[in-house]
């Protein structure tokens, strides 16, 4: 029997079990990643990919069925090409998802770190407030915030972002508490490190992985939230193309031209599916219990 160098074996094992390698092995996660990348590319390269201007109306070509030459997915009530509108809709979805996650994540993590690090009264006040925010169903909270802020892309991002804050705060705080209790933190502190140094160099790197996992799942939720708000007429207003508002107008023509509602909804489904698969994969890759 051959003798393999034990050290080499350990090195190979460590590499094979790194989060990136584990992610690559997970086939469904890879599919998710592909979808996510496709969606992002669609958003970035929309002008190149879309066959028509999404806002170009043509009253002579309204309600064309899918498969009509020149319009693979058909046209809407103003004769605008559905495929182009859906492609441009991805811009809104990706932008909102990224923006809301950034806004919610940043604010939430900062609050969570403060609460977890300082503890005491500050902790109680912040977390009780977060609990209060958690008491609202996410959609309801976003709806209420939108009513206050008014319509428009920036407000959608802010509203969904704010609704995201409690989740991030809770995760960040929980992780800070865990890391604070670890011995190396106390060791560094006894060496005279400042709070600032401790937070940036030790705490933040160690709370990253659960936060990243949460963020990936959160992206999917943000896409649905934007679509929901637009569907209810509260989010992105026409003529800007958003999957949600296409679905909204598609509803009115469900009997005669179902393709409008069908394909816009399908786009939402695929994007969310992709982010969910990817998020599941990231979560499994970072989970220390799985091998």
User: What is the H or E stretch that residue 267 is in?
Assistant: helix 258-286
From CA 35, how far away is CA 90, in angstroms rounded? 12
Interface with other proteins by CB under 8 A: which range of 47-55, 96-104, 111-119, 128-136?
128-136
**b/e map of 220-238 (b: 16 or more CB within 10 Å)?**
bbbbbbbbbbbbeebbbeb
* Residue 273 binding other proteins, by CB under 8 A: yes
Residue in 10, 16, 135, 290 binding other proteins, rule: CB under 8 A: 135
In the window 191-220, what residues touch other proteins (CB under 8 A)? 220
Residue 52 and residue 75 in contact, taking contact as beta carbons nearer than 8 Å = no
Q: In whole angstroms, how close is the CB of 137 to other proteins at the nearest point? A: 4
Interaction of residue 247 with other proteins, rule CB under 8 A: yes
Specify the residue for token string 């106390």: 186
Three-state DSSP at 56 gives coil
Q: Are 279 and 32 in contact, with CB atoms under 8 Å apart?
A: yes
Please pick, from the candidates 56, 140, 187, 290, the single residue that binds other proteins as defined by CB under 8 A. Answer: 140
Helix 120-134 to helix 153-181 angle, to the nearest 10 degrees?
140
Among the listed ranges 86-94, 110-118, 122-130, 187-195, the one in contact with other proteins (CB under 8 A) is 122-130
Return the number of the residue (52 or 127) whose C-beta is nearest other proteins: 127
Contact residues toward other proteins (CB under 8 A) are 1, 127-140, 143-145, 147-148, 150, 170, 174, 220, 224, 227-228, 231-234, 247, 250-251, 254-255, 258, 261-262, 264-266, 268-269, 272-273, 276-277
């Amino acid at each position: 029997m051959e003798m393999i160098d034990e050290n080499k074996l350990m090195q190979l094992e460590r590499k094979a079990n790194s989060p990136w390698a584990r992610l690559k092995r997970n086939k469904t996660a890879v599919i998710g990643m592909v979808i996510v990348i496709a969606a992002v590319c669609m958003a970035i390269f929309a002008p190149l990919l879309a066959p028509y201007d999404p806002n170009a109306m043509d009253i002579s070509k309204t309600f064309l069925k899918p498969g009509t030459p020149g319009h693979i997915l058909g046209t809407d009530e103003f004769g605008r090409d559905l495929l182009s509108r859906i492609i441009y809709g991805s811009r809104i979805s990706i932008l909102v998802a990224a923006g809301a996650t950034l806004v919610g994540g940043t604010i939430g993590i900062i609050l969570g770190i403060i609460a977890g690090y300082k503890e005491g009264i500050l902790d109680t006040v912040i977390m009780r407030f977060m609990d209060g925010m958690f008491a609202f169903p996410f959609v309801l909270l976003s709806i209420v915030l939108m009513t206050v802020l008014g319509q428009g892309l920036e407000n959608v991002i802010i509203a969904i972002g704010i609704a995201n804050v409690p989740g991030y705060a809770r995760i960040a705080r929980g992780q800070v508490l865990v890391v604070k209790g670890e011995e190396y933190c106390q060791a560094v502190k006894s060496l005279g490190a400042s709070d600032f140094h401790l937070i940036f160099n030790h705490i933040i790197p160690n709370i990253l992985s659960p936060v990243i996992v949460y963020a990936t799942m959160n992206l999917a939720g943000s896409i649905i939230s934007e679509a929901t708000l637009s569907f209810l007429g509260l989010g992105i207003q026409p003529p800007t193309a958003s999957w949600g508002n296409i679905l909204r107008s598609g509803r009115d023509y469900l009997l005669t031209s179902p393709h409008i509602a069908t394909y816009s909804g399908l786009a939402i489904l695929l994007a969310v599916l992709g982010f969910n698969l990817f998020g599941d994969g990231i979560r499994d890759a970072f989970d220390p219990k799985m091998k």
